[in-house]
Amino acid sequence: MTDTTRFADYGVVVTGAARGIGAATARRFAQEGARVLVTDVDGAEAEQTAAALRDDGLMAQALACDVADRASVEAAVAHAARAFGSLDVLVNSAARCTPDTPLFEDGSDEAWADDLDITLTGPYRCCRAALPHLAATGRGAIVNIGSVNGVQDFGNHAYSAAKAGLGSLTRTLAGHAAARGVRVNLVAPGTVRTSAWEGRDAELDAVCPLYPLGRVGEPEDIAAAVTFLASRDAAWITGTTLTVDGGLTAVNTGFHGGTRGRGSA
């Protein structure tokens, strides 16, 4: 059961929040008392998500925000701080993942640059704009949405490089921001059932046995981890990566299944 007061009087910005992990995270914060700005490059979808929260009696606004554009990011942060009276939490969920070309050498500079710009430089822009506001509250927190792609090979060269970079940015910014009273952490999800997998249920079913816990993740699994790291329950945690992946990166289920427990590597 959620604590409906854990984030009372908090102002929260979530990027990429029109759907999937971002939308579930915005809902979880709002359910726990926060005033949430739902941002997304698709402003109409962001408004639909915020409207659904308001229909449930929760406090949410929406604003179109393109994390690839510095002015757009700064406008969103300023709007939240003004509308809510403070900005206490930033969640960087917006990302871009371009499918790999069959041959690495056929990849384009444009696709590489676009993935890095949205997935890595976008959070950099958001953190840069939000940090003074977060520092002013005395309880500020940044939670970045990374990926297991940032720590192991699951394909998607540019996206994986960007997520690995986001892990590094999380650590370096945590070191800088600690003296200003701001904590910075990262959640690294495994496969999560979002709209990106729409119509691909057979593929999701096929990967379930690779997960020690026997299933892929749901957006709510990630939202629960994000809100924990943003809360005072995590007051002595900064610069860390919390892997939320059903045991995928801890246990080699394929190896275990192949050896049937008869031997070691």
Phi/psi of residue 185, each to 5°? -135, 170
What is the total residue count of the chain?
265
Domains contained in the chain, number: 1
Query: CA torsion sign, 59 to 37 to 224 to 205?
Result: positive
CB 223 within 8 A of CB 25: yes
The answer as to whether 104 is a domain residue is yes
Mean pLDDT by 10 residues, the chain (265 residues): 89 98 98 98 98 98 98 98 98 96 96 98 98 98 98 95 98 98 98 88 91 96 98 98 96 73 55
3-state class (DSSP) for residue 183: strand
Q: The domain containing residue 87 runs over which residues?
A: 11-259
- For residue 242, being part of any structural domain is answered with yes
The upper half-sphere exposure of residue 105, i.e. CA atoms within 13 Å in the direction of its Cβ, equals 0
Q: Is residue 265 part of a domain?
A: no
Grouping H, G, I as helix, E, B as strand and the rest as coil, residue 187 is: strand
Q: How far apart are CA 37 and CA 50, in angstroms?
A: 8
Residue 10 CA: distances (Å) to CA of 54, 84, 154: 16, 8, 36
Within a 10 A sphere around the Cβ of 207, how many other Cβ atoms? 13
User: What sign does the dihedral 195-29-43-169 (CA atoms) show?
Assistant: negative
Residue 79 resides in a domain? yes
Residue 56: count of CB within 10 angstroms of its CB: 11
Give the CA radius of gyration of the chain.
18
- pTM tops 0.85, yes or no: yes
Phi and psi (nearest 5°) for 165? Answer: -65, -35
pLDDT for residue 263: 55
Q: What is the pLDDT of residue 195?
A: 84
SS3 68: coil
Separation of alpha carbons 70 and 7, rounded Å: 28
Beta strands 241-244 and 89-92 are: unpaired
Q: Is 4 contained in some domain?
A: no
Cβ–Cβ under 8 Å, residues 56 and 28: no
Residue 3 lies in a domain: no
Tell me what pLDDT residue 254 has.
76
Is residue 85 in a domain? yes
Tell me the catalytic residues: 159
Could you tell me the CATH number of the domain that includes residue 191?
Answer: 3.40.50.720
Q: Is residue 142 part of a domain?
A: yes
- The per-residue pLDDT for 253 is 82
Q: Kindly tell me the burial class for residue 78, based on how many C-beta atoms sit within 10 Å of its own C-beta (0-12, 13-18, 19 or more).
A: middle
